[in-house]
Amino acid sequence: MKKLALVLLFCSVAGFAQQDAQFTQYMHNTINVNPAYAGSREVMSIFGLYRTQWVGLDGAPETSTISLNTPLNNNVGLGFSLINDKIGPTTENNISVDFSYTIQTSATAKLAFGIKGSGNIFNLDPNKLEPEHQGDSQFSDFRNKFSPNVGAGVYWHSDNGYVGLSVPNFIQTNRYDDNDTAIFKELINYYFIAGYVFNLDRYEMIKFKPAVLAKMVEGSPLQLDVSANFMFNDKFTAGVSYRWSAALSAMAGFQVSKSMYIGYAYDRETTKLNNYNSGSHEIFLRFEFMNNYSRITSPRFF
């Protein structure tokens, strides 16, 4: 039972501290946190990412996600995403559908409003807890627990910059209860994102993009991600990111072709947890379906 208590404690801490699945390279898949992003790239975009966190630590988070978003016309965008998140004995699958409506605010800027509908399926594998009594009925309610949710966001963007506010989940839900006391909750997450692209030379061969993501969760300290990326010749991207009081990251990406982009990030903890793992790895692939009418003539930096 002591081992069970320790595992549940780990899950509770991870759940409250992390809440929504976190990504170092969130700026390449903004639709996960803001539904208004759907269709903003003005092409059909398919994105897949795999993240393994705190390598070497037993039961550490492991996350996979795939998403698709596309414009339906000049004003309407549609998106779909699936996130699989594993932490210790728990597994969550979150399916989301996003809808956005965009209005032109100037010759080069647009403002989009988005809504997100999602469903979460939560599972706890009691076999990984090694309970004293196999098949204990107290674990029967921990499998395939479904909870729906709804969210919204706004996203302003121009050719060079963006600002967004969003709440992906408005409904606070309990993943499971113990004697009517919530052990694992999904709390409301508030997101703010912003970034701007500077051309550092007259030929626009070197671009610099500072960006920030701020996340607020009730009962947890403000989470702040600050990043700085450089793009060279619209092909190669390199940068660093700092998650306040948590981790330092290095990022790199390469535009393989006009349609395909691949990226990688490595995180190193700046907390005492650094003594118990060898870091976190994240890799993604994005593929976009271009056509002769696509507005984008060079790779977008966001």
Q: For 119-133, what is each residue's pLDDT tens digit?
A: 999 888 877 766 555
Nearest to 83 by CA among 58, 47, 127, 43: 47
300 is a domain residue: no
Burial track 145-182 (b if 16+ CB lie within 10 A, e otherwise): bebebebbbbbbbeebbbebbbbbbeeebebbeeeeee
What CATH number did the domain enclosing 155 receive? 2.40.160.40
Task: Flag whether 294 is in a domain.
Answer: no
Q: Is position 279 within any domain?
A: yes
Count of beta carbons in the 10 Å neighbourhood of residue 77: 26
Instruction: Tell me, yes or no, whether 182 lies in a domain.
Output: yes
pLDDT digits (tens, 9 = 90+) for 222-280: 899 999 999 999 999 999 999 998 899 999 999 999 899 999 999 999 998 888 899 99
Residue 302 lies in a domain: no
Rg of the Cα atoms in the chain:
20
For 57-103, the pLDDT digits (tens) are 888 999 999 999 999 998 999 999 999 999 988 899 999 999 999 99
Domain that holds residue 284: 2-289
Tell whether 298 is covered by a domain: no
Q: Count structural domains, the chain.
A: 1
pTM: 0.86
Please give the Cα distance from 261 to 198 (Å, whole number).
Answer: 21
CA 186 to chain centre: 15
Q: Is the pLDDT of residue 7 over 60?
A: no
Section 200-229 average pLDDT: 91
Residue 248 belongs to a domain:
yes
Residue 83 lies in a domain: yes
pLDDT band for position 16 (50/70/90)?
A: very low
Q: Distance (Å, rounded) from C-alpha 215 to C-alpha 219? A: 12
